[in-house]
Chain A
Amino acid sequence: MSTLSSRGRAILAVLAGALLALGVFSTAIVSLREPLARGDYHTVWGLKARALFRSGSFDSLLRVDPDGAFSHPEYPPLWPIVLAGAAGPARRYDDLVVAPLWPLLALLAALLAMRATAAALPFRLLAGAAVALLPYWRRYPGYAEALLAVLLLAALAEVARLDTERFAPLRLALFLTLAAWTKSEGLLAALLTAGALVVTRRPRTGILVGLSALLFQATPWRLFLALRASHQPPTDFSFTAFSLAKLVAALSALASEGASSLGWLAGAALLLALAPATRGNRAGFLSTLGVYAAALAGSFAFTRLDPAWHVRWSWDRLAFIPTVLLLPVLAEALSECVTDRTLPALLPASPAVSPPQDSVPTP
């Protein structure tokens, strides 16, 4: 850190640490002061966790709402499994007893964001603080995106270690497969990452990630649904529901809903514009993240619901994941601006191929 004195570095680290603590503390206050009970927790995640815990059977995930009127039987079950597991020691399912999972996930996400940031400690702490301070943690206690964010941040941290740590490719595949078990967006992230790895000349890792997600998540879960559901539960999205009009309506709703966040988007773009080396190092990741975000927005063209309503209902939770994944890169950009030092390449060159330094992916 050539242009930041050791005292300046220490002050920045203390400030960042305090902000991180504030993020986790405020999340803990909100989630521990009353039982989890909001929105999708009570209609989807908590409902399934209660059913699973009290019956001990995966069939109960389908039984509580076989028509798929509200509980989304097709959603993967990892988050309800984790909730039910957390209730285990209490020997009863209690929505307050499982609540401490929430600040723990916020803390874990912050620590993993630090691990995924290739910069000095104060900037890594700032990445963690930014993750912990995101409003999502206080608005949606009990929802599944938190676990998804943790798993995708864990995967992102492995990307920089692909060439230096023997088991990093396996850990990457594991985290992305677990992400696919958490939400459909996790499967999308796994497949996009696999594609990006292949494109950036890491075919073995790409195939490992893609096959792991398909063989160990997509296939068994689809099989379970096909064999155990009395009939295929309806889904919010379907390829047959595609229409351009829906896409236009959704994008229009997205523009209207997201207008208040334009300042954040502009700020992130400005910070990246000020940091050309970070942009270069992370070009592959930023491209993959852009495709991921575009795919999430584009998915509304396939909605079976009113697209404007669907966007209003879910856009901020969908945006949470790309935001969380972008924050380590923004911390690196800040580090470059403040220290005037170019970051080391994100990935060391693979010995087998010419160096695709900017490589990789992982939305």
Chain B
Amino acid sequence: MTARRAGALLLVAGAFAVLAWRAVDEAGPVPASLSLARKFWRAATPTRLLNARLFRDDVPLGAALIGRDRAWPLDADVVLVVAVGVSEGIAEERRRKAAFVLAPRRVTLARGETGPDGFALRLAARGAP
């Protein structure tokens, strides 16, 4: 075996060992992943959405958005009201989650009185910018 051949094979074997190890590691324990997958695939669409990582830390917002999504017409735009003290970053993050669930509706952000969960949702006035 030439040095070139041995060197190339060694290099590539090392690279594939790292790639394969990472793939196994990132996929996590397969039984746990399959169990999680089974739960999600058996659930209905709203349950899937509510339990997705998007709302893992914000279940009340997810539940409210799913409810409004069913009730409100698609051509109506929506205002997400967050409390005055909520940081800009968190407010924007909530707006993005709201836009995702309520698409194709446009979601704008406002500051004001909210419920106990720190947000409120209302329909935007027609023709509002």
Interface residues of A (CB under 8 A from B): 3, 19, 22-23, 25-26, 29-30, 32-35, 37-38, 42-43, 46-48, 50-52, 54-55, 57, 60, 63-66, 69-71, 92, 94-96, 126, 129-130, 133-135, 138-139, 264, 267, 270-271, 274-275, 333-334, 337-338, 340
Report the Cα distance A267→B105, complex, angstroms.
49
Partner of B23, one of A26, A48, A71, A334: A26
Within 8 A of A (CB), among B29-59: 30, 33-34, 36-37, 40-41, 45, 48-49, 51-54
Say what secondary structure dominates the interface of chain B. Answer: helix
Partner of A34, one of B27, B45, B52, B103: B52
A26 and B27: CB pair below 8 A?
A: yes
B16 within 8 A of A: yes
Report the Cα distance A3→B99, complex, angstroms.
60
Stretch of B5-13, B79-87, B111-119 at the chain-chain interface: B5-13
CB-based nearest A residue for B36: A33
Report the Cα distance A83→B52, complex, angstroms.
18
Complex interface: chain A residues within 8 A of B4 (CB) = 274, 337
Complex interface: chain A residues within 8 A of B51 (CB) = 34
CB-based nearest B residue for A38: B53
Number of A-B contacts (CB under 8 A): 143
Complex interface: chain A residues within 8 A of B74 (CB) = 54-55
Report the Cα distance A68→B14, complex, angstroms.
44
Partner of A66, one of B12, B45, B103, B106: B106
Report the Cα distance A43→B97, complex, angstroms.
8
B123 within 8 A of A: no
A35 and B24: CB pair below 8 A?
A: no
Complex interface: chain A residues within 8 A of B72 (CB) = none
A30 and B27: CB pair below 8 A?
A: yes
A65 and B8: CB pair below 8 A?
A: no
Assuming the contacts A33-B37, A63-B104, asked whether A340 and B26 have C-beta atoms less than 8 A apart, the reply is no
A50 and B26: CB pair below 8 A?
A: no
Report the Cα distance A209→B40, complex, angstroms.
44
Complex interface: chain A residues within 8 A of B53 (CB) = 34, 37-38
Report the Cα distance A139→B41, complex, angstroms.
21
B5 and A337: CB pair below 8 A?
A: yes
A334 and B100: CB pair below 8 A?
A: no
CB-based nearest A residue for B106: A63
